[in-house]
A and B are shown apart, each in its own frame.
Chain A
């Protein structure tokens, strides 16, 4: 088959306008032809990115149960409940976080005050687009503590507290990014009050594309180190888009 025709068919297949018997024939061709499969993969890699603008919606809680049952998996409802605590109903990448108790990040004379509405997972209020990078930081007991997110080309790292985090009065909470080989990059300091977000030195794509984990340590605010001390919170960081 001519490459131009194969490319055209692959594009029509991916977008969905190749229908009926022609679609079935092309699917059979893809099973037999590496070139056809490659053409489809190339189209999917580009075209599917357009789905980034589709608003996220929360499926019913029973859907996971049905999937688990169909696969014969053990129901892990308790873990799902933790995810439910921060799954938004109307936001984009994960849904809205449900506030879990009082968010008191800094104790004593510096109670946390969110003077702005909670930051939605979709950082951009104007576009409401889903976050590309998402990290879930757990405490020492393995319980979710902080949810971090950023748009691919944005510089803002947004944070959502899932449980109270007590920071010593003379310290600041610093967020770190870790690459696969363990190199640490200091991303920024969690604000003491107001919107739980900070500006990074570069875009999320530049800073987080090679990141596999995020961490939070308590450091001396007067002289931030280039390497973290003991990590109080840590967890995986993934790129969804």
Chain B
């Protein structure tokens, strides 16, 4: 569908949207916390996907990975431009995004654990220190900055930077090993 979209096939683009929008919307809602903001970002993302479909390189990543990266980057741009709204909670789990997010949403760490199961890297990830895993999870799933993670974990920002730097490297090694 992405290849056909790159050729200007509008029907294929619509199918691509229908197939991927709920997953991508979920990613955006998780980071931004509000449906309205997430829809704005998703709209920008799909416009970008339509315009950039010919730049997608199949050998570099799967279509969904490519599109998810576009959505995440747009979310991070949105946070940079608009900030995290005062009504948006940074609670790791139940309080995310105030109005729009159900109280029973899994925590960022739980999402990381579920991903590790799906990607069959759980054993590897469990060897990584808990603070590193949680810091990376908060940054990845909720788009938290170093300062926000530090505030959430009530830890020095220098420690958080080190946790994320080391945790990222180790998680990437696990994912690369798991994909092999």
Contact = CB atoms under 8 A, between A and B. Distances in A.
B114 interface: yes
19 contacts: A15-B168, A17-B145, A17-B146, A19-B146, A47-B175, A52-B118, A53-B106, A53-B112, A55-B26, A59-B21, A59-B35, A64-B18, A67-B47, A74-B10, A79-B11, A80-B14, A87-B22, A127-B117, A127-B118
B43 interface: yes
Interface in A33-89: 41, 43-60, 63-64, 66-68, 70-71, 73-74, 76, 79-80, 83, 87-88
B140 A56 contact: no
Contacts of A241: 62, 64-65
A195 interface: no
A9 to B, nearest CB: 11
Contacts of B18: 64, 80, 83, 87, 94
Interface string A85-100: 0011000111100000
A47 B115 CA distance: 11
Contacts of A239: 62-63
Contacts, number: 183
Interface of A: 8, 11-12, 14-17, 19-20, 23, 41, 43-60, 63-64, 66-68, 70-71, 73-74, 76, 79-80, 83, 87-88, 92-95, 127, 129-130, 134, 151-153, 236, 238-241
Interface residues of B, number: 67
Interface in B34-69: 35, 38-39, 42-43, 46-47, 50, 57, 60-66, 68-69
A153 B121 CA distance: 12
A46 B27 CA distance: 16
